[in-house]
Amino acid sequence: CQDNIISWFDWDRKEQFEDIERYFSKMIEFRKKHTILRNEDFFDYYKGNIKWHGTTPENPDWSYYCNTIAFEIDGSSMDKSEPSIYAAFNSYHEPIKFELPKHKGKKWYRVADTAVEFPNDFTETEIEVGNSYTVQERSSVILILK
- Reported as a single tens digit per residue, the pLDDT across 51-87 is 999 999 999 999 999 999 999 998 877 777 789 999 9
Q: Is the pLDDT of residue 4 over 90?
A: no
How does DSSP classify residue 63?
S
Sequence-separated contacts (24+) of 105-111 with Cβ below 8 Å: 106/145, 106/146, 107/145, 107/146, 108/133, 108/143, 108/144, 108/145, 109/143, 109/144, 109/145, 109/146, 110/141, 110/142, 110/143, 111/30, 111/142, 111/143, 111/144
21-32 pLDDT tens trace: 889 899 999 999
11-57 pLDDT tens trace: 888 888 888 888 989 999 999 998 888 877 777 665 668 899 999 99
Its pTM stands at 0.86
- Establish whether the linkage from the previous residue to 119 is cis, with ω within 30° of 0: yes
How does DSSP classify residue 28?
H
Cβ atoms of 142 and 87 within 8 Å: the answer is yes
